[in-house]
């Protein structure tokens, strides 16, 4: 973006003040995210106001077009009964469909140029614009914003955020969804290292979940690996200020990968890989995606946020909108409480998932590690759904444990497995029958005031989430637990199925849910015992939903039985 902008700071400021004088007072501004809840996360502290001359990088989400048509196309390419099944759109097709109107592009660019924004760059779909502004320019551009620096998290991450809501000129309401880089903090890992269960020192018992344990439980043979002859690929995305190390992957495969063919290294890292200590979550994602989806080309999206004012998750979404060729399966362990996010932000991110689904990408998200969750609304307890787990356009993965922690047995609910019903998204048609059956047949339903029975219900599937071995900083670490473990495992198994589909001339699976529910969970081990955690009060006494036959909001349809799931999903 270029312009004959005023050259001096005073000239730019005068220009900007003149532009904004008309809109700051009275009814001429509006708040795009009035319901965005501001709360400083635990462990974060403010370091005070940011220097007015410091530079920020802000992302403007521009209004898209033809979203009803996008919805129809996602349904058509994802429904096996549709003649358009598997006929995915290219990135260019999606761009032509949803890109903002010329009026939106012109209006927003003119507004930003007048404010002195510089180094603006867009994405292929033209619906995001990222620009650099100084703090004083940004605070004038976005009345109400006041930028502070915060530090927190396990790695003492620095971010710049505004604790106050921002306003936009009313004239921009038809053109801008929200501005990224003001409110939302980086996620924190919910992985736990549990104490070793007692009684496991007997010969013949395993001492934690490893690739060989997973392969035995899910019926993967040594031949169930990628062929190395296709363009099949898979990816995990990381938003924490932590990284994986190639040396950890090498050591992990030396210890645990001896009985199956596998790739020695990550094929591509997209984004910035730090030089610091490896993080357990980053190590886990890579090690188990590459051992479940063995011998398949693997990418890592490393998006800690290249600038303190960037939102790492939003940066990942921008990458998806800017790459024509992407891995077929993406596994993500990111989540926030639904109620902590603005409705416009949630709806826009959901649209980004629809864009991915239209292109035939399979997005898998961890269901979370707080069971049904809990929060108090006007003195009344309710369950607390998580997003993006609650999006109707992703496949959400819950967690299970072995019935006997030292034997490869049937699985039961892992009590931390996230699940429930969205308070934002209505129930998609593909799952109405399954959810109605659960609500009718469950003998352990919580009081109806605790959940929205007509909302999008999740998870959709599950896998083991308890007691993993991970190598991080060259140290084997036992008993690591969380749905951050189950998600890459399920993703890797879907990548193996994509391998067979591609070799048979079929398209990749794409958005899985319509097919998954039509086939009533065929190819999955049904998990029928156990409940997850929730509110610790007298009414529910810490118990959320319980699993049962068929689909349930704790483990979905169940865990993978690879030969049966391959047979179910191979054709058409």
Decide: helix, strand or coil at residue 59.
strand
Helices 246-256, 280-292: inter-axial angle, 10-degree rounding: 50
Helices 91-98, 343-358: inter-axial angle, 10-degree rounding: 140
Catalytic residue, from 33, 248, 285, 533: name it.
285
**285 catalytic, yes or no?**
yes
**281 catalytic, yes or no?**
yes
Can you tell me the distance from the alpha carbon of 495 to that of 416, in angstroms, rounded to the nearest whole number?
Answer: 26
527 labeled part of a ligand binding site: yes
By the 8 A CB rule, do 486 and 398 touch? Answer: yes
Decide: helix, strand or coil at residue 375.
strand
Tokens 């880089």 -> residue: 181
What number of other Cβ atoms are within 10 A of residue 567's Cβ? 14
Can you tell me the distance from the alpha carbon of 127 to that of 62, in angstroms, rounded to the nearest whole number?
Answer: 5
Torsion of CA 428, 356, 489, 532, to 10 degrees: -30
Catalytic residue, from 127, 139, 177, 281: name it.
281
**484 catalytic, yes or no?**
yes
Beta-carbon-side half-sphere exposure of residue 358 (alpha carbons within 13 Å): 27
DSSP class of 421 = E
Centroid of chain to Cα 102: 31
Token digits of residue 535: 């509110």
Catalytic residue, from 190, 465, 484, 547: name it.
484
By the 8 A CB rule, do 284 and 250 touch? Answer: no
552 labeled part of a ligand binding site: yes
Closest CA to 312 of 348, 272, 340, 284: 272
Can you tell me the distance from the alpha carbon of 248 to that of 288, in angstroms, rounded to the nearest whole number?
Answer: 12
3-state secondary structure 224-283: CCCCCCCCCEEEEEECCCCECCHHHHHHHHHHHCCCCCCCCCCCEEEECCCCCCECHHHH
Decide: helix, strand or coil at residue 17.
helix
DSSP line for 195-218: PPPSS--STT---SB-HHHHHHHT
Closest CA to 529 of 553, 546, 545: 546
What number of other Cβ atoms are within 10 A of residue 118's Cβ? 17
Token digits of residue 554: 């704790």
Torsion of CA 273, 274, 275, 280, to 10 degrees: -90
Active site residues: 281, 285, 484
Per the annotation, where are the binding residues for Ca(2+)? 526-527, 550, 552
Give the residue ranges of the annotated binding site.
526-527, 550, 552
């Amino acid at each position: 973006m270029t312009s004959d902008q005023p050259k001096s700071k005073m000239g730019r400021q005068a220009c900007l003040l003149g532009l904004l004088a008309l809109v700051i007072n009275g009814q001429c501004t509006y708040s795009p995210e009035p319901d965005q809840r501001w709360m400083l996360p635990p462990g974060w502290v403010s370091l005070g106001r940011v220097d007015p001359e410091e530079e920020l990088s802000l992302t403007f989400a521009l209004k898209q077009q033809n979203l009803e048509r996008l919805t129809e196309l996602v349904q058509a390419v994802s429904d096996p009964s549709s003649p358009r099944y598997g006929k995915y759109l290219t990135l260019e097709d999606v761009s032509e469909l949803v890109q903002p109107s010329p009026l939106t592009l012109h209006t927003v660019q003119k507004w930003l140029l007048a404010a002195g924004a510089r180094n603006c760059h867009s994405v292929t779909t033209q619906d995001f614009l990222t620009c650099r502004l100084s703090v004083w320019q940004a605070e004038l551009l976005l009345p109400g914003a006041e930028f502070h620096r915060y530090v927190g998290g396990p790695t003492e991450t620095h971010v710049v955020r505004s604790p106050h809501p921002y306003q936009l000129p009313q004239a921009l309401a038809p053109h801008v969804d929200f501005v990224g880089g003001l409110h939302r903090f980086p996620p924190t890992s919910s992985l736990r290292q549990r104490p070793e269960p007692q009684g496991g020192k007997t010969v013949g018992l395993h001492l934690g979940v490893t690739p060989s344990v997973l392969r035995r439980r899910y019926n993967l043979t040594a031949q169930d690996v990628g062929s190395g002859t296709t363009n099949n690929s898979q990816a995990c995305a990381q938003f924490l200020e932590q990284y994986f190390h190639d040396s950890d992957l090498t050591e992990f495969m030396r210890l645990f990968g001896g009985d199956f063919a596998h790739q020695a290294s990550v094929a591509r890292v997209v984004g910035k890989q730090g030089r610091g200590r490896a993080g357990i979550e980053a190590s886990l994602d890579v090690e188990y995606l590459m051992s479940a989806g063995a011998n398949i080309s693997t990418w890592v999206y490393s998006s800690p946020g290249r600038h303190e004012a960037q939102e790492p998750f939003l940066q990942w979404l921008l990458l998806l909108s800017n790459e024509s060729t992407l891995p077929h399966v993406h596994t993500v362990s990111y989540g926030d409480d639904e109620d902590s996010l603005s409705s416009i932000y949630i709806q826009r991110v959901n649209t980004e998932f629809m864009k991915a689904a239209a292109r035939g990408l399979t997005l898998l998200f961890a269901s979370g590690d707080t069971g049904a969750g809990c929060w108090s609304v006007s003195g009344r307890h309710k369950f607390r759904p998580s997003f993006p787990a609650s999006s109707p356009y992703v496949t959400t993965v819950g967690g299970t444990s072995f019935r006997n922690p030292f034997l490869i047995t049937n699985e039961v609910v892992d009590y931390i497995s996230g699940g429930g019903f969205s308070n934002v998204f209505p129930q998609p048609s593909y799952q109405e029958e399954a959810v109605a059956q659960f609500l009718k047949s469950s003998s352990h339903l919580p009081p109806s005031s605790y959940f929205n029975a007509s909302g999008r219900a999740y998870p959709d599937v599950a896998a083991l989430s308890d007691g993993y071995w991970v190598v991080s900083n060259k140290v084997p670490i036992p008993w690591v637990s969380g749905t951050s473990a189950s998600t890459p495992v399920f993703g890797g198994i879907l990548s193996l199925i994509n391998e067979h589909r591609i070799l048979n001339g079929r398209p990749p699976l794409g958005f899985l849910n319509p097919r998954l529910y039509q086939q009533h969970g065929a190819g999955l081990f049904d998990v029928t015992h156990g409940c997850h955690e929730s509110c610790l009060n007298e009414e529910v006494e810490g118990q959320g939903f319980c699993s049962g036959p068929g689909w349930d909001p704790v483990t979905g349809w169940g865990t993978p039985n690879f030969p049966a799931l391959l047979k179910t999903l191979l054709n058409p």
